[in-house]
Amino acid sequence: MSFLPILAEATAAAPIPTRSMFDMLIAGGPLVIPIVLSSFVMLLIVFERTISLRRGRVAPRLFIERFLLQLRENALDRGEALARCEEESSHVARVFAAAVRKWGKPAVEVEQAVLDEGERIANVLRRYLRVLNGVSTVSPLLGLLGTVWGMIQSFNVIATSPAMGRAEMLAGGISVALITTAAGLLVAIPAMIFYLYFVGRVDRLVMEIDHYGQELVNLISLEALEERKSARVVIPRRKAA
């Protein structure tokens, strides 16, 4: 009589022991708590930076193109241009407003105003990115610390247990200890990806604001105004003798 069918039925009937994600996190020990908190911080920063770094909030193209076009066509004076910038809530409008306040000054002064305000805007755009970088750095370290601490506890249990030499006890302790490393990496990897993405996006936006700021300098500086004024002067032709 073969026992294989009976063994197969018993194996199929026996439920496979499984653990939920919550149970695994609880088994990881107290160092899982700061890792979970770091994940919530990461999600909050990603959500906030995604909204704050939208082009419409930083450098809306419609406003920029219309504003520069009206300046090229001499459709705005200093007061009207400053009013347009103050009505707009975007970051590039603040840079334009700083330049317009230097209307008619030498190009060096206007450009310096653009650079100063642009630096302040860049700091605003980079807000919280250091925290995101910190999460990507600290989370795997916390996971590694939890793993080392769990391994120490596992070996102590094995050393003091009467069932010394049982591989299943050592394997179970190691699997629990590795939970914190896995949790730390699960937080650190997306945090680093988002950090690199936002840093690249901020750099592109800052370069774009600087480019448009230089265009504005070439339109409202003293040298630019004098050049445009002289270009409008009509030189009378001499009559032929």
Q: Write the pLDDT tens digit of every residue in 165-204.
A: 555 556 656 666 788 888 899 999 999 999 999 999 999 9
Residue 2, pLDDT > 50, answer no
In a domain, 191, yes or no: yes
Tell me the pLDDT of the chain averaged across its residues. Answer: 81
Asked whether residue 232 is assigned to any structural domain, the reply reads: no
pLDDT at position 235: 47
> Does 6 map to a domain?
no
End-to-end CA distance of the chain: 133
Q: Using pLDDT thresholds of 50, 70 and 90, give the confidence band for residue 222.
A: confident
Cβ atoms within 10 Å of 166's Cβ, excluding its own: 12
Residue 160 lies in a domain: yes
List CB contacts of 186: < 8 A, sequence separation 6 or more. 39
Domain count, the chain: 1
Q: Could you tell me if residue 240 is inside a domain? A: no
pLDDT of the residue at 148: 83
Residue 1 reports pLDDT greater than 60: no
Beta-carbon contacts of 221 under 8 Å, excluding residues fewer than 6 positions away, are 104, 105, 106, 107, 110, 111
Rounded CA-CA distance 147/129 in Å is 28
**pTM of structure:** 0.78
Residue 2 in any domain: the answer is no
Q: With respect to residue 199, please indicate whether it lies within any of the assigned structural domains.
A: yes
Q: What region, left, alpha or beta, does residue 127 occupy, with left being phi > 0 and alpha being psi -120 to 50 degrees?
A: beta
Do the domain assignments include residue 1? Answer: no
pLDDT greater at residue 153 or residue 69: 69
- The per-residue pLDDT for 130 is 94
> 76-114 pLDDT, tens per residue?
889 999 999 999 989 999 999 999 999 989 999 999 999
Domain that holds residue 48: 21-226
Q: Of 33, 43, 45, nearest to 143 (Cα)? A: 33
